[in-house]
Structure formats: C-alpha cells, structure tokens
Amino acid sequence: MNVVRPIAAPGRPAVATLGLFDCDIHPRPLSLEEYRPWLSAEMWHRLSTYGIRPRHGFAKGYPFPKAAPLASRRDAWPPGKVPASDLDFLRAQHLDFHGIDIGVLNPLQPSGQGDQNDAFSAAMAYAVNEWQLERWLRDEPRLRASVVVPYEDGEASAREIRRRAGDRRFVQVLLMSRTAEPLGRKRYWPIYEAACEAGLPVAFHAFGYSGWAMTNGGWPSFYIEEVSEHATSCQSQVISLIVEGVFERFPSLRILMIECGFAWIPSVGWRLDKHWRKLKDEVPHLRRAPSEYLRQNFWVSTQPMDEPERPEHLLDVMEWIGWDRILYASDYPHWDFDDPRTAFPAFIPPERRRDIFGANARALYGMPAA
C-alpha cells in the first residue's frame, strides 16, 4: 500500500469558538491485535484464523470499501499507520485544529457487527467497546464512546447495553442501517428496551452487512450507486420502526440517523400519512399519524449535507424536521469529511448554526450546555 503523507493544515478556523460537538468520528485499530486483550482464546483464534465474515459472505460479494483506510482523506494518514488509528494524530488534526469540545466514536469495520456467527459478533462487540475505553477515551477526555452491539442477536445486544449502562463515557448504542430484517421486527426489540432503560439514544449509521443487495434489483455496478442508497436503506428502517409500532411500545426511544442524508424525511412522512389515513384498520396499534412519530422520535446528522439549488428548499426541510433535531457530524477521517468551516451553506441563520454545532447534540445526549 502506498501511504499518503499528511498535508500541512492551514491556520486555526474561526468555528473553534463555537463549542463544537461532532457525533461521527471513525476510529480504527492499527491491527486486529489491538482487540486481543479482550477476546477469549477461542474467539481470538477465530478472528486471527478465519477473520470477520459479514453476512454478505464470500460468494455473495462484499460492499464497496467505504470503511476501509483507502476511503479516507489524503491528509489523514499518520506516518506508517492507517487513518484514525493514532490518537495523537487524530487529536492534533481534528480535535485541536477544529476546536472540537466533544467527539463521539463510531467504530465501523472491523467491529464484528453483522457477522454470520452471532457468538463471535457478541465477543467482538465487547472487545471493541473495551478497546474504545482503553485506546481512545482513557487519555482523551473530549471523546465519548458508542456501545457497539451484535445487533442481529437482540438478547446479546441487550446484555452488552446493560453492561455499559451508567457509564457516562458511552453516549449511544450503535447499529448499522442495513440489517438482516427491517429493524422494526420484534427480534430487535430487546435492543430498544435496553437502550430506553439505560437512557441512551440508538444511532443508525449508514452501511452494514445485511446479506442482501442494497438495491431492489441486485448489486450495483458503481460506488456512487451504493452511496446514494444510504437514504433508501434508512427510509425502509424508518417506515419499519413506525409501522411495526416500536414507538408505541417504547415511546421514549430516540433514534439518530448518521450519514443517511435528511432531505427525504418530509416526503416519507407525507407518503406514510397519506397511506395511513386509508389503511388504519391494518395497523390499529398506531395511535397517531406516522409523521408525528417521525418528528418526535428521530434525529439526523448533517453529513452528508443535502444542498438543493434553491436555498429556501433546504430551510423548509430543516424546519419540517425540527431545527433542534439536527446534529453536526464530520465523518472524520473519510474522504467525504465535512469541515465545520465549510459544511453549512452561508444562508443557514447563525443562531441555528450554533445549535446544530453543539447545543442539539448536548440535549440529545443529556450533557450540560457548553
């Protein structure tokens, strides 16, 4: 692999004084050996010998390598290492440089989520959570962890959530947006029950390892097709959660959708409401219009920022979602990283910008105002 050396950064940005809260940072281990202290001999043997086997499987093909180091910024490579594997480098390039007050870690692969072996997925989730605490949070008080769970096993996921409950270093439960079944199915309800008990929001991050193609017609030819499917994968999950009655059973459940876009949300609400008015008898457990659950129980991240040609269209969308439901996300260190200096169009009002940069996340995660 040809390692790209870091590019010198310009001066400190003006947004450093805004108390930035970044809800999407992706750490990686330098090697799988970093997980070894928290894996049993059996599970370490499985990892080192057979590796991670996501549900896409070898015969079905893997997704495009969005979470791989090669999908990162050209200047995010620490000398001799992979992006986001070195705390000092991440601290200097992202936390210090951009003035990040709080940053939430969302470990993607290799995390074991979506693995075909549920017991191994659970063991990996435990190891990754311990790794976050030891490798990242111990020496950097600005970072927070996500509870990585083996989400295809609802009961094992609930046990991992309860293990972390009360540890304020963990601020959310992390799932991926592409799952073996729609996330409203009752096999996943133990996750929501445990999250509500712990007072933690559940974050759905784009991508995942469902075992199914991300389009209705099969595997796409190009990465641009897959990355555009983030929105549709989340649309199906939103519809499933609402229609299956998850929020009637768990009214305090809070869902944060990360890296899924958000311009599609009003139209999904409108369509659901239209169908619900004529099909209420099929879903008598829904006591309110679907759009009401959408507005009450969901939050979104800004990355990737949707930018229509007419500024007022974006403002209308953000108003419909709720200005207090939108959180800043950088997606560091990936290639589509959103620099806080340039992430938001200039026409977004300054007071709204301040809330998106920090206050909204602090409210969602139950942290005091900056």
**Separation of alpha carbons 149 and 119, rounded Å:** 11
CATH superfamily of 21-365: Metal-dependent hydrolases (3.20.20.140)
Predicted confidence (pLDDT) at residue 34 exceeds the cutoff of 90: yes
Strand partners, 148: 174
- Are the C-beta atoms of residues 93 and 9 closer than 8 Å to each other? yes
Residue in the block written with tokens 């992390």? 174
The model's pTM is: 0.91
Strand partners, 307: none
User: Residue 57: pLDDT above 50?
Assistant: no
Q: So what's the pLDDT on residue 31? A: 93
Q: How confident is the model at residue 219 (pLDDT cuts 50, 70, 90)?
A: confident
Domain ranges (residues) in the chain: 21-365
Inter-axis angle of helices 41-50 and 118-131, nearest 10: 100
Q: Residue 55's pLDDT is what?
A: 67
- Cα separation, 235 vs 47, in Å, equals 33
pLDDT score of 229:
80
The reported pLDDT for the residue numbered 224 is 82
What count of other Cβ atoms lies within 10 Å of the Cβ of residue 224?
10
pLDDT score, position 67: 46
State pLDDT tens for residues 85-137.
999 999 999 999 999 999 999 998 789 998 889 999 999 999 999 999 999 99
- Report how far apart the first and last C-alpha atoms of the chain are (Å, whole number): 42
- Residue 68 is predicted with a pLDDT of 54
Please state the separation of Cα 297 from the chain's center in Å. Answer: 16
Q: Which amino acid, one-letter code, is at 129?
A: N
12-21, 195-204, 332-341: least confident range: 12-21
Whole-number Å distance between alpha carbons of 179 and 160: 18
Q: Where residue 69 falls among pLDDT bands split at 50, 70, 90?
A: low
Q: What is the mean pLDDT of the chain?
A: 89
Q: How confident is the model over 361-370, as pLDDT tens digits?
A: 999 999 988 7
Q: Look at residue 154 and tell me whether its pLDDT is greater than 80.
A: yes
Say which residues have a Cβ less than 8 Å from residue 370's Cβ, sequence separation at least 6: 19, 101, 358, 359, 362
Q: Does the pLDDT of residue 255 top 80, yes or no?
A: yes
Query: Which amino acid type is present at position 234?
Result: C
Distances (CA, A) of 331 to 17, 23, 242, 305: 20, 8, 27, 12
| Residues 323/330, Cβ–Cβ less than 8 Å | no
What is the sign of the dihedral through the CA atoms of 289, 294, 296 and 297?
Answer: positive
Q: Which long-range contacts (CB under 8 A, 24 or more apart) does 43-50 make?
A: 43/120, 43/123, 43/124, 43/127, 46/117, 46/120, 47/120, 47/124
Let me know: does 121 contact 129? Beta carbons within 8 Å: no
Per-residue pLDDT at 52: 86
Phi-psi region of 250 (alpha: psi -120 to 50; beta: other; left: phi over 0): beta
Res 10 pLDDT > 70: no
pLDDT confidence of residue 208 = 79
